[in-house]
Structure 1
Amino acid sequence: MSRLFVVLLTFMGGIVMTIQPSINAKLAQKTGVIESALISFAIGTLTLILIVSASGSGTIKGIVDAKWWELSGGVMGAFFVAVITCSVPRIGTTASMAIIIAAQLTIGILLDHFGMFGFKSLPIDLKRLMGILMMGIGIFFILKK
């Protein structure tokens, strides 16, 4: 898979990640926040079952060798979908996404700095800290009424 293709897929993932909370929030008006998250995950699970059935190259049997924390992504995903479904109608898509991105960048810097999960260590530097500070300033203005 080429680097450009990965970048484009990631960009498309960002687009979808921004649209999904509004769609889930509309569904939540009819079903409830947690119920909307459940429906979203159920449909996502069915979609993945079809994809794995058609073209999966890995093995689900590997789950028996997984550590407990390697399985925690589903819990984190459910938490994220429920929180963002709740926040978008209250503070807006822009504010919700800005806060999420700032949190992701902040934790990302720490994960990189300490080489967490066995990945390459990338030390914290002034440029990265300034980027996060500017995100914080941007969030302040986005939330300011």
Structure 2
Amino acid sequence: MSAWLLWPFAFLAGVLNTVQSGTNTTLNKALEQPVLAGMAVYGGGILGLLLMSPFLGLSFAGLGGKAAQAPWWAWTGGVIGAVYVLATLTLAGRMGAGPFTAVTLTAAVLASLAMDHFGLVGFEVHPANLWRVAGAVLMIGGVVLIARN
């Protein structure tokens, strides 16, 4: 992907993250079963990946060897994603889109700064500096302002 597309694509992903919280909440209200709603979300995700795969060059050649090279923690993304989906199914509707997204996004920024600083879970080291820490503090302030009624 061209470098100039990275930022708009990341922005779109952020917008869709909030939209997904709303769609997940609505589905959970209709089904009244967060686990079944979560399964439906993952089923839709699998279908979406299958539909996109021809455009992304899906290849199973050498997959077994590549899979064996991945560290154990690289395989935990699905379970981690399930926790997030269940959070959207059960919390976003009660908290509201603004507070839920503000809290989850700020938590993601704080975790990201730590992961960058220490080079955790496959990220290259990007040391924390005054600007990054100031940005994190401003994010926390934003959560406080957004969560106020």
Quick check: TM above 0.5? yes
What code does the residue aligned with 2:72 have?
W
What code does the residue aligned with 1:23 have?
T
2:36 maps to 1:35: yes
Q: Which residue of 2 aligns with 1:47?
A: 48
Q: TM-score, normalised by structure 1?
A: 0.89
The answer to whether the 8 Å contact 1:25/1:33 transfers is no
Q: Which residue of 2 aligns with 1:144?
A: 148
Q: Residue 9 of structure 1: SS of its match in structure 2?
A: helix
Q: Deviation per CA, 1:63-97: give whole Å up to 9, x if none.
A: 34332211100111111011022111111001111
**Could you list the runs of 5+ residues in structure 2 that have no partner in the other structure?**
none
Q: Distance in 1 between matches of 2:98 and 2:122?
A: 33
What code does the residue aligned with 2:100 have?
S
> How many residue pairs align between the two structures?
145
Q: Distance in 1 between matches of 2:76 and 2:106?
A: 22
Q: Distance in 2 between matches of 1:99 and 1:70?
A: 25
Q: TM-score, normalised by structure 2?
A: 0.87
Q: Deviation per CA, 1:11-51: give whole Å up to 9, x if none.
A: 11111111011011111011122221110001111221233
Matches for 1:112-131 after TM superposition, within 5 Å: 112-131=116-135
Q: Residue 116 of structure 1: SS of its match in structure 2?
A: coil
2:78 maps to 1:74: yes
Shift of 1:127: 1.6
Is the alpha carbon distance of 1:66 and 1:121 closer, same or farther for their aligned partners in structure 2, counting shifts above 3 Å?
closer
Q: Residue 121 of structure 2: SS of its match in structure 1?
A: helix
**Could you list the runs of 5+ residues in structure 1 that have no partner in the other structure?**
none
Identity value in percent? 27
Is the alpha carbon distance of 1:24 and 1:119 closer, same or farther for their aligned partners in structure 2, counting shifts above 3 Å?
closer
Choose 60-69 or 75-84, whichever is displaced more.
Answer: 60-69
Q: Distance in 2 between matches of 1:43 and 1:76?
A: 17
Q: Runs of 4 or more off by more than 6 Å in structure 1? A: none
Q: Residue 117 of structure 1: SS of its match in structure 2?
A: coil
RMSD over aligned Cα, in angstroms? 1.8
